[in-house]
Each structure stands twice: as C-alpha cells, then as structure tokens.
Structure 1
Amino acid sequence: MNRAELVERMSALTEQSKAATDLALWAFIESVQEIVADGDKVTLVGFGVFESRTQSARPARIGRNPQTGEDIEVPATPETVLPRFRPGRKFKDQVRAKHG
C-alpha cells in the first residue's frame, strides 16, 4: 500500500476529505521524525513505539568473498544512531491472527 492508498483508506474511515487526511498524515510523520531525531520516543499504546537506538561500532575484520573464496578486509564501522519501531502487543496479535 502506498501513501495515496493509505490516505484514501484513512479518509474513508474518518469521513474527512483526502486533503485534510493527507495533511494530518504528513503532520504525524514529520512530528514522529523530529521527536525521534531529538532522541525522544513516541509511544502509541497498542500500536507501538518509535525510538532511536544506538548501533555498536564494529572493528575491522577479515571476511571472505563468497564468489571467489578470497579473503577481503571489511572496514570498521562507527557507532551509529538509527530509528526503530517496536510494534505493540495489539498490533502483533492482529498480524498473527491474520497470518497464523
């Protein structure tokens, strides 16, 4: 499902115009991105948590090229901060019910 399809579905559920729904969706996305970028988290009970997580630095190491079997040097990676979404129980249960 793309953004336009999501807006159409939300618009039908809320009985709001597509323009108003698109604006609300845009505001939600922008707000979550800013909050998470600032290091805070957004918790929507039953849906999930948007937060930032720190990924540990990894030292350089020797890897293997799977095509040739040759040893190659894999460079070190620095510590990075990435966004993360953890689904809530209700969300997980709903997905499991449809696919389980």
Structure 2
Amino acid sequence: MNAETVLPTAVLLGLFVIFAGFYALFYAAGRMRGNALFIAAGYLCYASQIVTVVLLWSSTPLGFPWKILMAGTAAVCSFIPKLSWRYIRSLHEI
C-alpha cells in the first residue's frame, strides 16, 4: 500500500464501521418503536455497507485475507441486530 491509497482505504473502512453501527441503531429503534421506516433505514445502511465492501474489494490494495475478513464481517453483520433484538426481548419477558 502506498501513500496515495491510504486515505481512500481508511475512509472506506471508516464507512464500513459507521454503516454497521447505523444499521444496528436504526433496526433496534424501528423494532422498539414499531416504525417500519426506521427498519427500512437500517436495511439501507446495511446495503450501503455491502456497497462499501464491494468498493474495498475492487479499488483498494488490501491483501486478500483482509478482503475476506471484510466480506465475512459484512455477512455476519446481517444477522447480529436481529439476534441481539431477539435475545434482549427474551431477557425482558416475565
């Protein structure tokens, strides 16, 4: 990796994390309030995260293991908010 590619790669990696966080935030807020618009915004953030992974894969000089890690993380991120929501609901049922 050279100096010219560090900043664009760092920006894409930052966006990857931000989109994952907003996906979880909007999904949980939508489920908590029963608001389909928030849930849709969460899915839009997840779709943006997938686009970010595609851009990381195709336009950055990251090594192959790092690209696999990013793709795997994006795949796992698809079900973490749903699993977390289900677990939290089960904790608070009386």
Q: TM-score over 0.5 for the alignment?
A: no
* Bigger fraction of residues in strand: 1
Higher normalized helix content (fraction of residues):
2
Instruction: Tell which has more relative contact order, 1 or 2 (C-alpha 8 A, sep 6+).
Output: 2
Return the TM-score normalized by structure 1. 0.29
